[in-house]
Chains A and B, each alone.
Chain A
Amino acid sequence: MRRIEPVPSADPYLGAQGTAGLPPSGGPAGIVGRLDEETRRWMDELGGTGPVRDEALSRLHDLLLRVTRAEVARRRGRHPITGPELDDLAHQAADDALVAIVAKLSGFRGESRFTTWAYKFAVLEVSSKLGRHFWQRPTASIDVEDWERLPDRFGVAPDDHAQRLDLIGAVRRVVSEQLTPHQRQVFMALVVDDVPLDALVSRTGSSRNAIYKTMFDARRKLRAALVANGYLGDSTTKGAAGGLGMEEQE
């Protein structure tokens, strides 16, 4: 385990409310929840100094490593990494999660168990690292538009040629006519080329939220167009306007 030094950092995933700083000695100044015993112990020890803090960091790293190892194993089959490389990824994720936790400890407000809050960093690090690995596959590409794959994505049988052609034709037309270039690019990557969203985040330098929002708007537009063209039935609940608390962006 490398030595951990706190670094200032802004993070959107702190908790339900804003941050509140712990005093240097690690007292519970920002805590709003009623702490369970284990959480209180973590806060005392991580907020302390010297060997007590070092020992707590070492124990926390062990727990994080257990989580990242379990997580890469749980996702087996959905990523191509195996063997020592997979364990190396779990180690990197645990190391980086610990750095992030130390940097953001003052933002922990005791609204959940400390370990649940800390484990979130470990799980998110695994996602991020697996997303980056996608592009190391020799077949990974977003440059080829293969519409033939679309019916498979929605469970159309390979021998149902009529439905396959019908579905490709309808979706391809509304994608071309209704979506902005950016929405079209994201739709093609995620839906037609089956690129994982986190891999697209890694490739484009965007965020998961921004890409999800782009896709959310695209889904709404496409459904409305397919309803208008008689391919899908209308529904007052499906495809309703709103959601995400944001206006549509081009």
Chain B
Amino acid sequence: MSGWAELDEFLSTDPRDVGCDEALRLLHLYVDLLVEDKSGDAATRRYAGIAAHLRACGPCREDFEGLLHAATERRNETDQDERS
């Protein structure tokens, strides 16, 4: 995909997009759901507007990926502590 198709993708907007403020306000809840259910079904179902926003907003997606990485790592650590 290049040129017009890529431009079309970039200009397309999703009416469910909640914007940065709302997405960041709830980002920790969205991430916790994703850590619980890696399929992402529960998180996307419950927070469709956040999922739509993260598809379109590079900076928020960057923050989301960082938080998901950190939260997943923490969950692995606490799970390991509980087992030992």
CB distance from B15 to the nearest CB of A (A): 4
Q: Which residues of B contact A207 (CB under 8 A)?
A: 20-21
> Chain B's nearest CB lies how many Å from the CB of A190?
9
Taking CB atoms, residues of chain B closer than 8 Å to A197 are 57-59
Given contacts A123-B66, A127-B62, contact A240 B15 (CB under 8 A): yes
* Closest B residue by C-beta to A154: B6
A92 within 8 A of B: no
CB distance from B8 to the nearest CB of A (A): 5
- In Å, the complex CA distance between A239 and B14 comes to 7
Pick from B13, B19, B63, B74: contact of A209, CB under 8 Å: B19
Which listed segment binds B: A22-30, A47-55, A109-117, A136-144? A109-117
CB distance from A231 to the nearest CB of B (A): 7
Docked complex: B7-37 residues within 8 A CB-CB of A: 7-8, 10-22, 24-29, 31-32, 35
Minimal beta-carbon separation of B83 from chain A (angstroms): 14
B-facing residues in A125-148 (Cβ within 8 Å): 126-127
Residues of B within 8 A of A123 (CB): 63, 66-67, 70
- Give the chain A neighbours of B16 by CB distance below 8 A: 243
In chain A, positions 164-206 with a C-beta closer than 8 Å to chain B are: 167, 171, 196-198
**A71, B68: Cα distance in complex, Å:** 11
| Residue on A nearest B17 in the bound complex, by CB | A243
Size category, B interface: 35 or more
Are A232 and B78 in contact (CB-based, < 8 A)? Answer: no
User: Of B22, B25, B65, B78, which one neighbours A14 at CB under 8 angstroms?
Assistant: B25
Separation in Å of the A115 CB from the closest CB of chain B?
Answer: 5
Could you say which of A111, A116, A124, A216 contacts B63, with CB atoms under 8 Å apart?
Answer: A124
Q: How far is the CA of A213 from the CA of B69 in the complex (A)?
A: 27
A–B pairs, 21, beta carbons within 8 Å:
A16-B26, A67-B66, A70-B66, A74-B65, A75-B62, A113-B32, A119-B28, A119-B74, A120-B24, A120-B67, A154-B6, A155-B3, A155-B6, A163-B3, A222-B11, A223-B12, A238-B13, A239-B11, A243-B15, A244-B19, A245-B19
| Interface of A toward B, CB cutoff 8 Å | 12-16, 38, 63, 67, 70-71, 74-75, 78, 111-113, 115-117, 119-120, 122-124, 126-127, 151, 154-157, 160, 163, 167, 171, 196-198, 207-209, 212-213, 216, 219-220, 222-223, 226, 231-233, 235, 238-246
Additional pairs, 17, CB under 8 Å, beyond known A116-B32, A243-B15 = A16-B25, A70-B69, A71-B66, A112-B29, A112-B32, A116-B31, A116-B74, A119-B28, A120-B24, A124-B24, A124-B63, A156-B3, A197-B57, A208-B21, A212-B20, A223-B13, A226-B11
